[in-house]
Amino acid sequence: MLSLIPLIFHGRFYFQDDTENGAYGVWYHLGESLFQGKVPVLNPSVWSSGNYIAEGQWGTWNPLVMLFGLLAYVSPNAVVLTTALKVAMLVLAGVGTFVLARSYTLSPEWAFIAGIAVPLNGFTMYFDAPSWVTGALVWAIFPFFWAQLRQLMLGKRNPFWAFVTGYLIVTVGYVAGTVAIGFILLAVGIEALVRKAWWPAARIALTGISIGLVAVVVFLPGVLTAAVTTRGTTGIWNDDYMSIDFTSLLLAPIATAYPQLLSWWWSGTAATSPAAYIAWFLPAIAFVSWIKFKKLSSDLRDLFFFLAASAAFVLLPTTIGPLRYPARFMPYVALAAVLLVVVALARSRQPSISRGSLLFALGLVVLGSYLGWSQAPWRYFTIALCAALIVAGLVSMRWLLNHPEVASHKWNKFGLPAISLLAIGVLLATTATTVLQHRTTARSGLSIANQPEDVSTYKGVLEGVQNDVIVVGDPLDYPQDKATWEETLMANAWYLSDANVVNRYQLVGFSKLNELLCLRYLGGTCPELAEKLFDRRAETGLLLVDELHIDNVQILKRSFDKPQVAMASNNYVSRDEEVEIPAVPDGWHVATETDDTVLWSRDVPLGPAGGVTWTRPGTQLSEVSRDDTKVVLKVEDVPAEGGRAALSRLPWPGYSVEGAQFTNRPIGGYLLGLAIPADAKGKLITVSFEPPGWRIGIALWAVAVAGMLLWSLLTIRRRRSDGPMKPQPADDGSKQPAPAYEGIR
């Protein structure tokens, strides 16, 4: 399988960046929770990263992600499991593309060509597959959804299958996949309307509405929580960050060319991987007869619409409210572009491809190579070598398409038809370009932390430490190697440890707390936090560490020896001098110490966060019960003017209270505050959390699922009562066009 080629050059290719720092920890904790009979909703002790429903990508409603979680929890090796799952996703994408291509009346050989090319596009191979696994997953399922919609339009499928595939995409929680669903629903729906196929159009609309209702339960809590998070941005602007321009799209056939793409790397505007690559044979579009293609175009309206919408999305400004990084849509552009070229070649190519058409195709290769060289001149040799492979492939393709009989009988001892030889040739050429690509760009340009493969290594970090921990410093200041990860961890890798650590991945972090703790998106903090934790707070009179109910502080010594670089987006502190590690505070002791780290622990532990952390003088509360989403308190005493208290919880939208009221503003700027009536003595106060919009979302989810099941069952019953399907009237859009591919078979 071509998806295994990257592993030849880098064995951890599919375990990089957000996969090792984010997704794998999510899977592990989800699996652990499922084995305990619960689904993660809220974790007060994780603070800023503990609102799992608002983050939306925890697979709360997705059975596939839950399966990944169960597998991660029982698997002893993180890299092996992740690699297997991601290769399976790429294979799934290829099979889905094959199925989708067949719906355009292509022969299996032409569909095979599309299927092997699409999963190898540059953005998938160097961004989604190594790192952004949620993007890879939704994109892998998407071709099946598109194919099911087309079959639904033709009256050949029960709506259940389109709903199931759409459901699996939406409930991953990755916005780009949901946008793609919207685009293709519009595309196929418009196609049905143009054909005046009113009932098929209604079926597509009902399917889309059902999926939209499911999307509410996935995304509404995040939308209603966004105002207090680091994702609560508004407005439209363009800073060229993760944005591919039109010129870069011309690099699509060159597997070794780096486009202009500003991102997390520090190499100027050039990307560090072929992020704009789509497929080497795209210039073969020059072999198409435009007269034939014009006649064919009425069968491809949905494809045209989706390609145009996807390309427009890629070229959007870099930020539109919560939508960021339009380059994330490149895999959808690749899917549509490859389909268009393959369908055009199969069904409307020239009967005899002229030399002029070949020269035009080669001209496109030269143009792409020139633009690739001008963007990254130091890569001239690999670009030239790739161009030579493409030229050889296009020349061979033209000869084979022009001489199918010769190819079938004189040059083929196995007697294979010319179309089979073409498919084999494309496979060989694709293998060559893929090997060259990964030989010259072995890794993603995204970060590589080299976190452990062996799950037991994670479990040994801070083993036996009780109650909540905060890490002061940043693991990124250390070598990213085994020695580092035996002493500390980073981001969501802490979910694999038994220690309850605050410093997790900040996907939608709570803004006020992140600012207060100088908490960065991978969980690192600035060294100054070591002193700040023991500053007395003005409103409560408590130390910050007491407000947070932190019982352990791990100090990363190297962060104190290293000047920090100013990075506003990640809350780095700009300073040129080293910061000294403060003395062990009163009431604390050194639990363990090595050359690189030291762990302070309280002499008298407070216990984990989630309960009462402060009360105003005269207010006394006792805890009756507590879990992650609910606290029941008894008022033992309250002053005549009423009492006030703060819980060691963030004031996420979704909290409700009985027996008291919430304070007008968070106590200390970030703590959930209670205003207690003067007559509350002896009464109970119940504080509960339910994700905002949760009940509405669940109700709509139930309506969508139940309605679709009912509709599907009625469809099955009707078809059984009607007997074998009869041909539909031509004007209802269900008549599939006759196969138009010809010549080479």
Where helices occur in 103-158 by DSSP H, the ranges are 108-117, 122-123, 133-153
Ramachandran region of residue 549, left (φ > 0), alpha (ψ -120 to 50) or beta? left
- Asked if 557 and 598 count as a contact pair (C-beta separation under 8 A), the reply is yes
Per-residue pLDDT, 403: 82
The tens digit of pLDDT for each residue in 361-409 reads 999 999 999 999 998 899 999 999 999 999 999 999 999 998 877 666 6
pTM for the structure as a whole: 0.92
Reading the block at residue 514, the tokens are: 């992140």
What share of the chain in percent tops pLDDT 70?
A: 92
β partners of residue 42: 51
- As a whole number of angstroms, the distance between CA 387 and CA 363 comes to 11
**Strand segments (E) across 436-525:** 468-472, 500-501
pLDDT value at 743 more than 90: no
What share of the chain in percent tops pLDDT 90?
A: 78
Q: Phi and psi at residue 723, in whole multiples of 5°? A: 80, -160
Kind of pairing between the strands at 468-472 and 500-501: parallel
Per-residue pLDDT, 411: 63
Confidence of residue 570 (pLDDT cuts 50, 70, 90): very low
- Asked if 650 and 639 count as a contact pair (C-beta separation under 8 A), the reply is no
Q: Which contacts of 396-403 are long-range, i.e. CB under 8 A and separated by 24 or more positions?
A: 396/425, 396/429, 397/281, 397/284, 397/287, 397/422, 397/425, 397/426, 398/287, 398/353, 398/357, 398/358, 398/361, 400/425, 400/744, 401/287, 401/349, 401/353, 401/743, 401/744, 402/352, 402/353
Reading the block at residue 331, the tokens are: 């895999």
Reading the block at residue 483, the tokens are: 């020695």
The tens digit of pLDDT for each residue in 45-77 reads 999 999 999 988 898 999 999 999 999 999 999
pLDDT value at 306 more than 50: yes
Per-residue pLDDT, 236: 83
- Asked if 19 and 85 count as a contact pair (C-beta separation under 8 A), the reply is no
Per-residue pLDDT, 565: 47
356-391 burial string, b = 16+ CB within 10 Å, else e? ebbeebbebbeebbebbbebbeebeebbebbbebbb
pLDDT value at 734 more than 70: no
Closest CA to 679 of 637, 651, 716: 637
Per-residue pLDDT, 608: 96
Per-residue pLDDT, 563: 64
- As a whole number of angstroms, the distance between CA 44 and CA 670 comes to 13
Per-residue pLDDT, 445: 87
Average pLDDT over residues 633-661: 96
Closest CA to 41 of 67, 60, 16: 60
Number of helices (H) and strands (E), helices first, in the chain? 27, 16
Closest CA to 458 of 132, 75, 87: 75
- As a whole number of angstroms, the distance between CA 14 and CA 85 comes to 9
Confidence of residue 316 (pLDDT cuts 50, 70, 90): confident
In whole angstroms, how far apart are CA 138 and each of 128, 151, 316, 353, 405?
A: 10, 20, 21, 38, 42
- As a whole number of angstroms, the distance between CA 82 and CA 75 comes to 10
- Computed over its alpha carbons, how large is the radius of gyration of the chain? 29
In whole angstroms, how far apart are CA 502 and each of 309, 478, 493, 495?
A: 41, 19, 12, 10
Per-residue pLDDT, 736: 40
- The single residue listed with the structure tokens 């592993």 is 7
Q: In what order do the strands lie in the sheet with 588-593?
A: 500-501, 468-472, 552-556, 597-602, 588-593
The tens digit of pLDDT for each residue in 679-707 reads 999 999 999 999 999 999 999 999 999 99
The number of residues in the chain equals: 745
- As a whole number of angstroms, the distance between CA 413 and CA 730 comes to 45
Q: What angle separates helix 694-722 from helix 198-225, to the nearest 10 degrees?
A: 160
Where helices occur in 315-466 by DSSP H, the ranges are 330-348, 355-375, 380-402, 404-409, 418-440, 455-459
Average pLDDT over residues 161-173: 96
Kind of pairing between the strands at 468-472 and 552-556: parallel
- As a whole number of angstroms, the distance between CA 600 and CA 597 comes to 10
- Asked if 59 and 173 count as a contact pair (C-beta separation under 8 A), the reply is yes
- Asked if 89 and 129 count as a contact pair (C-beta separation under 8 A), the reply is yes
- As a whole number of angstroms, the distance between CA 583 and CA 91 comes to 56
Per-residue pLDDT, 730: 35
Those residues with Cβ within 8 angstroms of residue 706's Cβ, 6 or more apart along the chain or in another chain: none
- Asked if 31 and 85 count as a contact pair (C-beta separation under 8 A), the reply is no
The tens digit of pLDDT for each residue in 451-481 reads 999 999 999 999 999 999 999 999 999 999 9
Per-residue pLDDT, 727: 42
Please classify residue 682 by burial: count the beta carbons closer than 10 Å to its beta carbon, then call 0-12 exposed, 13-18 middle and 19+ buried. Answer: exposed
- The single residue listed with the structure tokens 């001098």 is 577
Average pLDDT over residues 434-441: 96
The tens digit of pLDDT for each residue in 237-253 reads 777 777 888 888 999 99
Confidence of residue 412 (pLDDT cuts 50, 70, 90): low
- As a whole number of angstroms, the distance between CA 114 and CA 279 comes to 9
- As a whole number of angstroms, the distance between CA 269 and CA 149 comes to 39
pLDDT averaged over every residue in the chain: 90
Those residues with Cβ within 8 angstroms of residue 731's Cβ, 6 or more apart along the chain or in another chain: 195, 196, 197
Element (H, E) at 34: helix 24-35
Number of Cβ within 10 Å of residue 436's Cβ equals 16
Per-residue pLDDT, 724: 52
pLDDT value at 86 more than 50: yes
3-state SS, residue 317:
coil
